[in-house]
Amino acid sequence: MPKINPQRLLNDLKHLRTFGATGPGVVRLSLSPVDMDARRWLAGRMSDAGLSATIDGVGTVFGRSRNAGPALLIGSHTDTQPTGGWLDGALGVIYGLEIARALAECEETRHFAVDVASWIDEEGTFSGFLGSRSFVGEDVDEAIRGARNREGVLLGDALKQAGLIDAPCVRLDRARYRAYLEPHIEQGGRLEAHGKSIGVVTTIVGIRELKLRFSGQRNHAGTTPMSIRRDAGAALVAFIARMDEAFRALADADTVWTVGRIELDPGSFSVVPGAAAMHLQFRDASAERLHAMETALAALIRDFNAEGKVSVAITDSEPPEAPVVMDPALQAQLADAAEAIAPGQWERMPSGASHDAQVIAHHIPACMLFVPSIGGVSHDFIEDTAEAHIVLGCEVATRAAAAILRKTSG
């Protein structure tokens, strides 16, 4: 059975952390100079591990085993949020590197093929999931021509600056790959609250994103009696309360919804808002529940408009993301490995966050493994995971990787 080197694993994670280190966290935005430094370092570590390493035409770092296959692909991302943690994405990439080394160092598994990827721009600095979408053959040319970061830099210009614009892109070889594994920190508090060390992901939740606009009448805040006001801001607040009640009646323990932004027009102390808008997002692992929430929201809008004072309409909507179920057979392999190494310390759970696995799962069988996040915190500088959990998670992932390859090779 292959054995990981815990100190090597931790050393690589901690060295990757130095690229863009900001206090306890990391700022390493896709295709920034420090991100490219990190990618070149990672490609070097992949080469040291015996992989054929490249940085492709969109910025994905890809390490290909010299073994013929069938292959297991392991990956995640090493770009961060503007105020990022040191493990979000990075953990899965360095797990992949360590698993490739561990299997190569074991006589029983040295002939197995493990490829490792650090997908570019999972966090959406320019265009979310750019690397994994490019890998599976989605057309990303429009994004390269038109996507911009917060400073207005075009993605195509950033790729030119990084020296990648003419590099070939890595593409999915369906004959080679049997499965994709993405280890990750949980980014929530469920495992910690339940006293568990490992999460076997069942589903990556679906997402709905909507913008609702409330239309009333702008008026003087001092001279307009409350009884005749058509206050769009007050209507928005009342609507949120009704929506919260309706969604709670449909939700289970993992359903979430968020009003992430509220806009008032004109936004003055002395003016009754004539218009208001809210940006709403809700997530769930059940497509049926997401549909029920959409139906409930539509009914609330009809009822609200029937009252007459302030009207509300959905004015903008992002394309819906459907829930993506992880491959049941791969879930079972992860569960078997977790029970063998950490009996009783694991559970099945959905992922409330999006991951590259949801892109790849439409093309090859995919699975995910979680380790706990301290305090349930992620996308923040204080994001952290206990070293014991980091090591344990890699041991489970390594055992599962060997089992998956043993079965597919057999």
Binding-site sequence positions: 77, 88, 123, 184, 379
How do strand 366-371 and strand 198-204 relate by DSSP bridges?
A: antiparallel
Measured in whole angstroms, the distance separating CA 289 from the mean position of its chain's CA atoms is 21
Dihedral Cα 111, 403, 353, 131, nearest 10 deg: 20
Please provide the distance, in angstroms rounded to a whole number, between the alpha carbons at the two ends of the chain.
16
* Start-end of H helices in 199-267: 232-250
Q: Where is the binding site for Zn(2+), in residues?
A: 77, 88, 123, 184, 379
Locate 354 and state its tokens: 């999006």
* Start-end of H helices in 65-209: 90-104, 130-135, 141-146, 155-161, 190-194
- Residues with Cβ within 8 Å of 333's Cβ and at least 6 positions away in sequence, in order, are 367, 400, 403, 404, 407
- Residues with Cβ within 8 Å of 358's Cβ and at least 6 positions away in sequence, in order, are 204, 321, 324
8 A C-beta contact, residue 55 and residue 47: no
Residue owning tokens 């597919």: 408
